[in-house]
Structure 1
Amino acid sequence: MKTVFSSTEEQEQEIASLVSRFYETVFPKYFTESEILHFRKIGVLERNRSSSRFTYLGTLRDAFQVMTCLQVLLSILGKQQAEEWNDPDSAELFQHNITLLNEYGIFFPFYYDHFSNMNQEASNDLQMMDAHVANQYLV
């Protein structure tokens, strides 16, 4: 008999928060709105209910591993804006964390190269957000 500790409510909330960050801030930079809606429909970053032996079971250790993988992916994607994207170690680390997520039953069907080019519509929106107001009456 083996005793395991279940994940905490805070860990589950953190996982949900990290998934929301992907949908609200990361995916819009690289994909169109219709693609993002399709991702939600097919269950990207959701738990797979399959009977795989690696499926995320809600244990304390598993939740911590899933949180860490999501945080690493977000960190690597954040490096792209800092123009450090061509680092081969990042590509390997990115793929390793995707593999771990998939082993834990979290569906993430992307590769490092999917995030190499920003969505043109999204980059235009980001440029508009960075524009400085030249006149205080123009807002």
Structure 2
Amino acid sequence: MKIVSASTNEQEQFIEELVEEMYKEVFPIYFSDETIVKLEKMSVLKPTEETIIYNGTLKEAFEIMSSLQTLIAVLKQADEEEKQKYAGLYDRNREILRSYGYNLPLNMSDFLTAGIERDLFSCYTRSANNYLI
């Protein structure tokens, strides 16, 4: 018999927040709104009932959270030269996410060449404030 600890509601919510951060802060840096819409339709980083392998254990939640945080850090902070250096780290964390049903069909090379097509204003970026002017 094996005893496992279940993940907390806060951890589940944090995973959702990290996925939202990918869509609202990382993807708009590299992709146009049209491309992000296509990624949403493909359920990128949003597992469905058929594809999810995540069982809600504490270990799995931490692996998913740390993989998402690593991808966000590499994609938001690294310059082009560092991104090539961190390609192995990117691939490893992408595979961890895929093993739990969080599909990310983008290679590091997609982020190296994608910055050209981004929009100056994106409907996916977070607003600077909550007031409508």
- Pairwise TM-score range, normalised by the shorter structure: 0.7 to 0.9
The structure-2 alpha-carbon separation of the partners of 1:125 and 1:50, relative to structure 1 and needing over 3 Å to count, comes to closer
- Hey, what's the Cα distance between the residues in 2 that align with 1:119 and 1:125? 14
Asked if the contact 2:32–2:117 (Cα under 8 Å) also holds between the matched residues in 1, the reply is no
Considering only CA atoms, is the larger Rg found in Structure 1 or Structure 2? 1
Q: Render the CA deviation track for 1:92-114: whole Å, top value 9, x for unaligned.
A: 00000001100111111111111
The structure-2 alpha-carbon separation of the partners of 1:57 and 1:93, relative to structure 1 and needing over 3 Å to count, comes to same
Partner of 2:104: 108
Tell me the amino acid that sits aligned with residue 20 of structure 1: E
Partner of 2:89: 93
Asked if the contact 1:47–1:56 (Cα under 8 Å) also holds between the matched residues in 2, the reply is no
Partner of 2:67: 69
Offset, 1:2: 2.1
Partner of 2:126: none
* Mapping of residues 13-92 of structure 1, within 5 Å: 13-50=13-50, 55-80=53-78, 82=79, 84-88=81-85, 90-92=86-88
- Hey, what's the Cα distance between the residues in 2 that align with 1:83 and 1:41? 28
> What 5-or-longer segments of structure 2 have no aligned partner?
123-133
Offset, 1:9: 0.7
Offset, 1:78: 2.1
Q: Render the CA deviation track for 1:23-44: whole Å, top value 9, x for unaligned.
A: 1111111111111111111211
Tell me the amino acid that sits aligned with residue 96 of structure 2: L
Offset, 1:77: 0.8
TM-score (normalised: structure 2): 0.80
Tell me the amino acid that sits aligned with residue 111 of structure 2: F
Q: Which has the higher contact order (CA 8 A, sep 6+)?
A: 2
Asked if the contact 2:15–2:65 (Cα under 8 Å) also holds between the matched residues in 1, the reply is yes
SS in 1 for 2:5: coil
Q: Render the CA deviation track for 1:2-34: whole Å, top value 9, x for unaligned.
A: 222211111011111111111111111111111
